[in-house]
Chain A
Amino acid sequence: MQNLLTKKRKTFRKVVKDSWHGWIFVLPLVIGIGVFTLYPLIQSLIYSFYRYDGLFVNDFIGLQNFVTMFTTDRAESFKVFGNTFLYALISVPLNLCLSYLLAVAVNQKIKGVIAYRVMFYLPVVIPAVVSGVIWSQLFDKNYGLFNDVITKFGGDPFPFFTDKNTAMLSMLIMSLWSLGSGMVLWLSALKNIPAGLYEAAKIDGAGVMTRLFRITVPMSTPMIFYNLITGMIGALQINSTMVFAGDGGRGPDDSLYFVAVKIYHEAFTNSAYGYASAIAWVLFLVIGLLTFVTFKTSKWVYTGDE
């Protein structure tokens, strides 16, 4: 027994001796995750079971916040989740497809192609708040460039962000401005495909479409996979509508009201910290679930070791 204990203590000492350098290097991260991620994560789960205004009221109400989301506040909460899913479902694949075309265009070996790449990517580096300002001005009913052109050709002014039926469409158009981010990912994916594959396919008489769907797409699946995951996580958390949607970021008839914006308003406009935390946790679970499912069904991703 005595022997066993000393042996155990020795191994523990040995672990410390071998590890302490490494531990010091990652210590900041451990503290950071603990204080700024883990603690608030648990805290927000606790809040979600309380009616809490951040100062005085602090009542335990069990699952009431989650029930509210599906009952009394149902119209609004379903609307924001619906809007968010709709936007994510359309914008992610749309950007993936159109940015492919852009990448093919700037992947040619011709003079000055770098300059085109720079111009296509430029909108991506422009701050979200600025693109919100620019596009709300471009889309303005009276003073906007788009409606100026439309009316010059004899059309009626298009309402863009000011009508509930056109607001989402306008936002999707606006999202195309940052196609450059998808473009650079496609470019690096294209660069990694061995040219020999195309040569061989050409000799076998494969057409453009066959080459696209039998070589380019399968070889680019790691990038497509990355794009799907990050695009989805990003789209589900969009809050830039606060800049251009009007009505405090809700848009006409809540047509541009997104989950992240509702969480902000519930917490910092209505001081309903508990309810806001509950919505945030539902969003978290949705994102976690979607990511999990995407990873589980990722057999189609080419890993290079087949």
Chain B
Amino acid sequence: MTYETMQKTLIDGNFRKVRGSRVGKIARLTVIYTVMTVFAAIFLIPYIYMLLRALMQSSQVQLIPIELWPRPFTFEAFGQLFGSGGGYLDALWQTMKIVLFNLIAIPLSASFVAYGFSKTKFAGKRVLFAVMLGTMMLPGAVVQIPLYVMFSKNGFNWLDTVLPLTIPNLFGGGAIYIFLIRQYMTTIPYELEEAARLDGANPFMRYFRITLPLCVPVLIFIMITVFNANWSDFYGPLVYMTDGTETLAYRVFKDAIYTYVTPDKANLKMAGGLFMSFFPTLLFIIFQKQLIEGVSTSALKG
């Protein structure tokens, strides 16, 4: 193949004619990889910008024109945030309480209810399932004010605690999670339970001993989603918590718009953001296959 035909191929965009030849294939792959790498760089630039500026000294982030490479590399910003007086350790502890509770409560509670929907028969099943799906459409803004008033009243006194963001999850844990697990459970053949049933195991034992362990793949997806959702949620804590009891996401939010607005604090902002992104990124890289598959199956089945 000549240079001319290769050029013509590129202009026409008609790769099929030359697909057989090696040069054509290399040219085609070069174009594809170049375009994709450019795009990947565009997607990663904001992330890398945050990373680099989080590792700068306060004096360097104030320079105009800006500098991109930290000199020297320093963890000064992290020291300030997590050191005494930074308050980020306390905020992290609040977040961990919520995250750890929900990581256990939501998969258990949602799978318990999902078992009812997929493996038992009861009067009112269809109606309840429809109502549950309906709650997915409900904007959070509608219920948030009465919930706030309810949690603030005597008898609850839940404000400034983690309770509003944890206890409600004991009751099903959210329609989308129940729905996903139920979809998964319906694919498990009944024969597996039949044997246990004949051995005298009641539905509760069959749920816990047989069906739940088989749901591990979908539960992994749900746990990652639950972690990310609760770790990242700044709005719930913003409504229910005030100074001193806030979670990490709320703290990062508050600092970004009130405390660290001056240019010399930009490294602190970025360090907070970088720490916030660390665990979601790590989880995503480890579980990327399950996550991407989980997201798409939930979309196709919903």
Q: Distance (Å) between the CB of B250 and the closest chain A CB? A: 8
Contact for B263 among A24, A110, A142, CB less than 8 A: A142
Residues on B with beta carbons closer than 8 Å to the beta carbon of A28:
109, 112-113, 170-172
B273 within 8 A of A: yes
Total A-B pairs in contact (CB under 8 Å)? 286
Structural contact, A21 and B203, CB atoms closer than 8 A: yes
Q: Kindly state the separation between the CA atoms of A136 and B273 in the bound complex, as whole angstroms.
A: 12
B190 within 8 A of A: no
A40 within 8 A of B: yes
A165 within 8 A of B: no
Contact for B232 among A128, A177, A287, CB less than 8 A: A128
The residue of chain A having its C-beta at the shortest distance from the C-beta of B117 within the complex is A26
Residues on A with beta carbons closer than 8 Å to the beta carbon of B128:
26, 29-30
B98 within 8 A of A: no
A270 within 8 A of B: no
Structural contact, A25 and B120, CB atoms closer than 8 A: yes
User: Which A residues from 257 to 306 make CB contacts under 8 A with B?
Assistant: 259-260, 263-264, 267-268, 273, 276-277, 280-281, 283-284, 287-288, 291
The residue of chain B having its C-beta at the shortest distance from the C-beta of A188 within the complex is B296
B214 within 8 A of A: no
Residues on B with beta carbons closer than 8 Å to the beta carbon of A273:
145, 149
Structural contact, B36 and A116, CB atoms closer than 8 A: yes
Residues on A with beta carbons closer than 8 Å to the beta carbon of B239:
264, 268
Interface pick from A61-69, A72-80, A193-201, A232-240: A232-240
Q: Distance (Å) between the CB of B217 and the closest chain A CB? A: 16
Contact for A243 among B64, B125, B253, CB less than 8 A: B253
Structural contact, B292 and A117, CB atoms closer than 8 A: yes
The residue of chain B having its C-beta at the shortest distance from the C-beta of A186 within the complex is B296
Contact for A126 among B125, B281, B285, CB less than 8 A: B281
- Could you mark each residue 148-160 of chain A with 1 if its beta carbon is under 8 Å from any beta carbon of chain B, else 0? 1001100000000
Q: Kindly state the separation between the CA atoms of A181 and B225 in the bound complex, as whole angstroms.
A: 14
Structural contact, B256 and A243, CB atoms closer than 8 A: yes
Query: Given A108-B32, A133-B256, A243-B253, A281 and B142 touching (CB < 8 A)?
Result: yes
Query: Given A25-B115, A185-B299, A243 and B257 touching (CB < 8 A)?
Result: yes
User: Which B residues from 125 to 142 make CB contacts under 8 A with A?
Assistant: 125, 128, 131-132, 135, 137-142
Contact for B113 among A25, A122, A145, A288, CB less than 8 A: A25
- Could you mark each residue 10-35 of chain A with 1 if its beta carbon is under 8 Å from any beta carbon of chain B, else 0? 00000100111111111011111101
Q: Kindly state the separation between the CA atoms of A134 and B53 in the bound complex, as whole angstroms.
A: 10
Chain B interface, DSSP helix/strand/loop, else mixed: helix
Interface pick from B4-12, B39-47, B72-80, B85-93: B39-47
B35 within 8 A of A: yes
B280 within 8 A of A: yes
Contact for B256 among A116, A132, A192, A222, CB less than 8 A: A132
Q: Distance (Å) between the CB of B234 and the closest chain A CB? A: 5
Structural contact, A41 and B117, CB atoms closer than 8 A: no
Name the residue among A29, A123, A223, A273 with the largest chain B CB count within 10 angstroms.
A29
Query: Given A28-B172, A117-B292, A43 and B277 touching (CB < 8 A)?
Result: no
Residues on A with beta carbons closer than 8 Å to the beta carbon of B272:
133
B195 within 8 A of A: no
Residues on A with beta carbons closer than 8 Å to the beta carbon of B49:
134, 137-138, 145
Report which A residues bind B (CB closer than 8 A). Answer: 15, 18-26, 28-33, 35-37, 39-41, 43-44, 47, 54, 102, 105-106, 108, 110, 114, 116-123, 125-138, 142-145, 148, 151-152, 177, 180-181, 184-185, 187-189, 192, 222-223, 226-227, 230, 233, 236-237, 239, 242-243, 246, 259-260, 263-264, 267-268, 273, 276-277, 280-281, 283-284, 287-288, 291
What are 7 A-B contacts defined by CB distance under 8 Å?
A: A118-B285, A118-B288, A120-B39, A133-B252, A137-B269, A185-B296, A242-B253
Report which B residues bind A (CB closer than 8 A). Answer: 29, 32-33, 35-36, 39-40, 43-47, 49-50, 53, 61-62, 64-66, 68, 109, 112-113, 115-117, 120-125, 128, 131-132, 135, 137-150, 152, 168, 170-172, 178, 202-204, 207, 228, 231-232, 234-235, 238-239, 249, 252-253, 256-257, 263, 266, 269-270, 272-273, 276-277, 280-281, 283-285, 288, 291-293, 295-297, 299-300, 302
Given contacts A23-B122, A25-B117, A133-B270, 17 further A-B contacts (CB under 8 A): A21-B203, A28-B171, A33-B131, A117-B288, A119-B44, A121-B288, A122-B43, A127-B277, A129-B234, A136-B256, A137-B53, A143-B64, A222-B300, A230-B299, A237-B139, A246-B257, A288-B137
